[in-house]
Structure 1
Amino acid sequence: MSSCQRVARPLAQSLRQDRLILQSNSTHLLRAFSRTASRQDDTITTTTNTSAKPPSPPPPSSSSPPSAENKSELPMRERLMDRDTTTAPWAERKLARMGTPPIGSRRRRAALRSSENLPFEQLPYQCFQEARRFLKEDRQEKLRHLAKEIAKIKRLEATPAEQVPGGERKKNLRLASLRKYIEELKILVDINDPLVKRRFEDGFGDMNKPIYRYLAERKWRGMPYKIITQRIEQLNIVPDVLPKFDPIADVQLFFRRIKVDPGEILDSRITEVPPRLKVQVFNPGERLVSVAVMDSDVPNAEDDCFERRCHYLAANVPIAPDQPSLPLSKVDKETQLAVPWLPAFSQKGAPYHRLSVFVLEQKPGETLDIAKLRELYSARDGFSLKSYRDKFDLTPVGFNIFRTIWDEGTAGVMERAGVPGADIEFKFKRVYSLKGPKKARGWEAKRRKPKYKSLWKYSMNIHGLNRRRR
């Protein structure tokens, strides 16, 4: 046993004994998030009358959600599926696949599960409260600095352009620089606030505020951005679909309440219903976008090449930072839907098909003519995203992708969608080399004489090995 273990063993035993004592007592005597001595005003007086029975709680209503008292009466599996208190890895993965991920970190959920609901800003830690006081003073100083910069902008806006050195152009550049600096100050004001960080981790942040958009973008620029850019490179989306592309918005894909990882191979029966997108943008304001879903691996046996097909096209769809949900099945069929949803399918023997989901931002204040889009792309075949982008002056901002192969349900999916060709099977044609057989050289050529017949079993007459080379 190491010296660290010998030192830590008495401490661990004492903590374990304290925990057993606390569990044996009434739950009212526990203090949340703290092991310090209770304050005098927190002491709860109890009576010694053991004959009086406590009143029985009223039976819970079937329509009301279970409260904190009767959560312990639920089965263990249902308790572990609670978003607020679950700590099981399998439950976290299942909730994430359902589109309702667990709230906050696992450490926070474990603390809520084992303690009372004490307000976060009233945690009884002296160091914590001193840190909050210091952060509050720092925030007040940044607010005063922000007010000075806002007043500076107002003075510059009220100043005529003739009195500004450099004229109108210099004035506009100065105003743009000050406005950008003010947005940065708004983020710095709240970046260290623990309540802001906690609200963001719990999923309750207001995305109309710069601080929450900044935190969301910083979180997305971590592993999710790296994964989606890796899929763009690995699956050759650039340059097969677009000559260059760098996503600036987070696009998540859901089929039947199941979150799809980028590049995942899906069963064709899952794709019969249109998916739901979660498009999170990080700049303020509402904008109109177009959504295009295309298959870039349609086999053409006659020309021995691959073509493209449009599986879905919609335009004039509004999104905003606080309105990320975009269900493709609920767009307006008259003013937004150009090409209806076509399930993903792949014929037997063909390689996997890449179905790319692109979100393209339209120019501010401009709407696209849906009748013209239907006229151009209703045939679906030969769809080019680059041509669509250039023709209507769109900007690709978000991307996601999934793949499909031939499976046991593809024939039924194609039949229900009215797509012919389920009985076609692609086979690879073997191409033989035009080069003649190579002559033996070196050690083998020298020992092919009858003189070395005893060695042929090591070089020529090996069972299962064809010595003829091409």
Structure 2
Amino acid sequence: MPRSSLPRLREAVAGAAKIVSSKVTTFPSMSKALDPAKYYNNQELNWWARAIGCRTDELVAFTSLGNPTSKPIITAKQLASPPALRKSYFDYRIEAPVASLRTARAKNLYNKHEGLSDAFRNASSYLETLREKHYEEVIEALGEIEATLGQNGANGVDDLLTKNVDAYGKVKSLTKKVELLRQQAEENGPEPYLQFKRDEMDMRFPIYRHYALENWKNFDLIQLVDRLETLHVIPDTLPLLNPTQAVRIRFPGDRAYWIDPGRVLSTKVTKNPPEFEINNFSDKEDVYTILIVDPDVPDPAGDTFKTMLHYLITGVRASGNSPAPDFSDARVLASYLPPHPEKNSGTHRYCVWVFAHLEGKPLNVSGDIEDWSEILSGKRELSLEERDHFNIRSFQEFFKLKDVGAHLYRCKYDSETDNVRREFGLGTGNVWSRQRLQHY
């Protein structure tokens, strides 16, 4: 290895280590790094070598020196980025041309404006000062919350509600203020947004919940409402919905992925219960009831369609800190019934509705309603006859539930439907036909 290239290699790798180590001190998730020495025979190692301007064998020779002070550190995302951007990750010298300049002519013509570096440092210093100011206000608000709880002898916010309603309202207001201040302290920094885009965020921090909410509003919410309306889930199941929480579903298997609302799936894929993710974009934990209905079951007696209940589970807990639901206290009121459309019955909509419990209380009914009392007590589940002609609107009104989110997937009769019917003992099913009328 030429001696002249060794200092340049040391400088580039040390610069990369310096950049990553500075990120690690502030954001722990950046510490998930890869050692290029593990990728000697991979194309990723070649990318790394080109990024710091050397041959692959030179990089291998250099890493074999085992110098602990300049051990190459690189994240998987950086290894997979385009060469120009990858080089800009490691080139910490301000004199280097920007990564957006692709041609040699553009790079030669590039001249950094005088004073740009000073302006950048001043802007960074200002943002850091602003960040510290927000966190000082956070500490002040937290102290005020603690003092209010102490003055009223309350063990927590819920306990305060029973002792002093005015103080409870004050503490709730201060809690929201703390959440907002923590968000504002980080929202101007480049690192949180970069980590959010790389899906390396920690949802316990308000800034990431804020980014997740904005991202959901800008795309997923629009797509969901569009599918619910164009596929007539609204008003065929419920008359109206204003989603406030994000709901995602996927089905277990080798190719499990979060599905888009309205996607048509094979009955083989949907034969097992779906996995859910519910995000209320808050650190508060909510209690939910989740149900799945099919409003497209033919009803020859009424010459119309009826709604079949396919799944009903209550007592599910989730929050913005942990969108993966907690089923430890959940109760299944109606076990999952896999989609099994009958032949020639068209494409069926399987509508997922998520209801939030008021004040986080579990479902409860008086003893006058014997059937629901038995079901909620766990003595039995809803039978197939009780699932038939299920009225979702009456269910929501009776239990006083708030609809906060929804999802949708579709199935139709396919080559796997008969196998699903046999596996779950659902019978052979009907074959529907439409009588052709003669028009004169």
- Interval of TM-score (by shorter of Structure 1 and Structure 2): 0.5 to 0.7
Matches of 1:144 and 1:136, distance apart in 2: 12
Q: Indicate conservation of the 8 Å contact 1:338/1:378, yes or no.
A: no
Structure with the higher helix share, 1 or 2: 2
Matching residue's letter, 1:386: R
2:427 paired residue number = 420
Q: Indicate conservation of the 8 Å contact 2:131/2:185, yes or no.
A: yes
CA deviation after TM superposition for structure 1 residue 432, in Å: 4.4
- Going from structure 1 to structure 2, the CA distance change for 1:158 and 1:320 (only over 3 Å counts) comes to closer
**Root mean square deviation, CA, Å:** 4.1
1:87 paired residue number = none
Does residue 396 of structure 1 match 2:399?
no
CA deviation after TM superposition for structure 1 residue 104, in Å: 10
Does residue 69 of structure 1 match 2:37?
yes
- Going from structure 1 to structure 2, the CA distance change for 1:393 and 1:185 (only over 3 Å counts) comes to same
Matches of 1:358 and 1:297, distance apart in 2: 16
User: Secondary structure of 1:364's partner?
Assistant: helix
Does residue 353 of structure 1 match 2:353?
no
Q: What are the superposed Cα offsets for residues 203-226 of structure 1, whole Å, 9 maximum, x if unpaired?
A: 333323322211111111111111
CA deviation after TM superposition for structure 1 residue 345, in Å: 1.9
1:163-242 alignment, distance < 5 Å: 177=173, 179-242=175-238
User: Secondary structure of 2:310's partner?
Assistant: strand
Q: Which moved more, 1:289-298 or 1:368-377?
A: 368-377
1:140 paired residue number = 132
Q: Indicate conservation of the 8 Å contact 2:316/2:330, yes or no.
A: no
Q: What are the superposed Cα offsets for residues 376-395 of structure 1, whole Å, 9 maximum, x if unpaired?
A: 73322122222222222222
Does residue 249 of structure 1 match 2:252?
no
1:325 paired residue number = 324
User: Secondary structure of 1:325's partner?
Assistant: coil
Matches of 1:112 and 1:68, distance apart in 2: 19
User: Secondary structure of 2:435's partner?
Assistant: coil
Q: Indicate conservation of the 8 Å contact 1:271/1:344, yes or no.
A: yes
2:66 paired residue number = none
Q: Indicate conservation of the 8 Å contact 1:104/1:202, yes or no.
A: no
Matches of 1:271 and 1:71, distance apart in 2: 39
2:382 paired residue number = 377
1:10 paired residue number = none
Matches of 2:222 and 2:185, distance apart in 1: 29
Percent identity of paired positions between Structure 1 and Structure 2: 22
1:296 paired residue number = 295
Q: Unaligned stretches of 5+ in structure 2?
A: 17-32, 48-74, 95-116, 153-163, 365-372
CA deviation after TM superposition for structure 1 residue 235, in Å: 1.2
- Going from structure 1 to structure 2, the CA distance change for 1:223 and 1:148 (only over 3 Å counts) comes to same
Q: What are the superposed Cα offsets for residues 138-190 of structure 1, whole Å, 9 maximum, x if unpaired?
A: 22233345556666777888999xxxxxxx98877666555544432232122
2:9 paired residue number = 28
Matches of 1:156 and 1:208, distance apart in 2: 25
1:429 paired residue number = 435
Matches of 2:318 and 2:180, distance apart in 1: 24
Matches of 1:220 and 1:389, distance apart in 2: 26
Matches of 1:124 and 1:131, distance apart in 2: 18
Matching residue's letter, 2:335: P
Q: Indicate conservation of the 8 Å contact 2:334/2:381, yes or no.
A: no
- Going from structure 1 to structure 2, the CA distance change for 1:242 and 1:71 (only over 3 Å counts) comes to same
- Going from structure 1 to structure 2, the CA distance change for 1:69 and 1:184 (only over 3 Å counts) comes to same
- Going from structure 1 to structure 2, the CA distance change for 1:305 and 1:193 (only over 3 Å counts) comes to same
| 2:82 aligns with one of 105, 110, 120 | 110
1:366 paired residue number = 361
Q: Indicate conservation of the 8 Å contact 2:282/2:320, yes or no.
A: yes
Matches of 1:113 and 1:371, distance apart in 2: 63
- Going from structure 1 to structure 2, the CA distance change for 1:298 and 1:276 (only over 3 Å counts) comes to same
Q: Indicate conservation of the 8 Å contact 1:104/1:201, yes or no.
A: no
Count of aligned positions: 345
User: Secondary structure of 1:206's partner?
Assistant: coil
Matches of 1:285 and 1:177, distance apart in 2: 14
Q: Unaligned stretches of 5+ in structure 1?
A: 1-23, 36-64, 81-102, 161-167, 434-469
Matches of 1:155 and 1:419, distance apart in 2: 62
CA deviation after TM superposition for structure 1 residue 129, in Å: 4.5
Q: Which has the larger radius of gyration?
A: 1
Q: Indicate conservation of the 8 Å contact 1:280/1:324, yes or no.
A: yes
Matches of 1:171 and 1:141, distance apart in 2: 26
- Going from structure 1 to structure 2, the CA distance change for 1:109 and 1:267 (only over 3 Å counts) comes to same
